[in-house]
Chains A and B, each alone.
Chain A
Amino acid sequence: DTAVSQTPKYLVTQMGNDKSIKCEQNLGHDTMYWYKQDSKKFLKIMFSYNNKELIINETVPNRFSPKSPDKAHLNLHINSLELGDSAVYFCASSHSGSRYEQYFGPGTRLTVT
């Protein structure tokens, strides 16, 4: 049983295109996150939704737009892709509150050419 799943696993696209990454969790969590891991393996939070409401929105270009249709899904749409968007994007989920660990998805490796 996959706890946090992401699709696609790999995404290769050209500059200027628009693409989406999907995330689903079956853990019954109410909070979901998107992280970006750059080429140096550094992980940085991008967004978080709690019960479908945006609660964290770090300094991210507005070309990135998260959408949460329900508590179990958090999708990431990226417009006008740039070379610098190439990274691994991880989705995660948790129960709300600081005393709960986050469970991570397998990641989506995005390559912009």
Chain B
Amino acid sequence: AQSVSQHNHHVILSEAASLELGCNYSYGGTVNLFWYVQYPGQHLQLLLKYFSGDPLVKGIKGFEAEFIKSKFSFNLRKPSVQWSDTAEYFCAVKAGGDYKLSFGAGTTVTVRA
């Protein structure tokens, strides 16, 4: 069965610090990759997605992610975080022709002003 691993459970940063969240998946075939964000009390919103092409994808709010096929990874980055980036971040994978998304366990990011 496919699995998605997010290595960091809780990350605490100061404003302007750089952020990198790890995501690895176990599926060996073609995958579509997503990062979703859940701000406190809100629903999940798409940050960015990768289907094919340039493995470095840029999303909203200054986030980017890099797909490294050989490492089965799709890490999320932001060079300089803001207090408003405090949220739960979820990596998700859709394998081959699957309909369903498989989510990682999420990483709580707390940015201190």
Q: Which residues of A contact B (CB under 8 A)?
A: 4, 31, 33, 40-45, 48, 50, 55-56, 58, 90, 92, 96-99, 101-107
Interface of B is mostly: strand
Q: Which residues of B contact A96 (CB under 8 A)?
A: 99
Q: Which residues of B contact A (CB under 8 A)?
A: 32, 34, 36, 38, 42-46, 49, 51, 88, 90, 94-103, 105-106, 108
Q: Which residues of B contact A43 (CB under 8 A)?
A: 44, 90, 103, 106
Nearest chain A CB to B91's CB is how many angstroms away? 11
Nearest chain A CB to B42's CB is how many angstroms away? 7
Residue A55 contacts which of B44, B45, B88, B99 (CB distance < 8 angstroms)?
B99
Nearest chain B CB to A72's CB is how many angstroms away? 17
Residue B106 contacts which of A41, A48, A50, A92 (CB distance < 8 angstroms)?
A41
| Bound form: Cα–Cα A101–B97 in Å | 13
Nearest chain B CB to A1's CB is how many angstroms away? 15
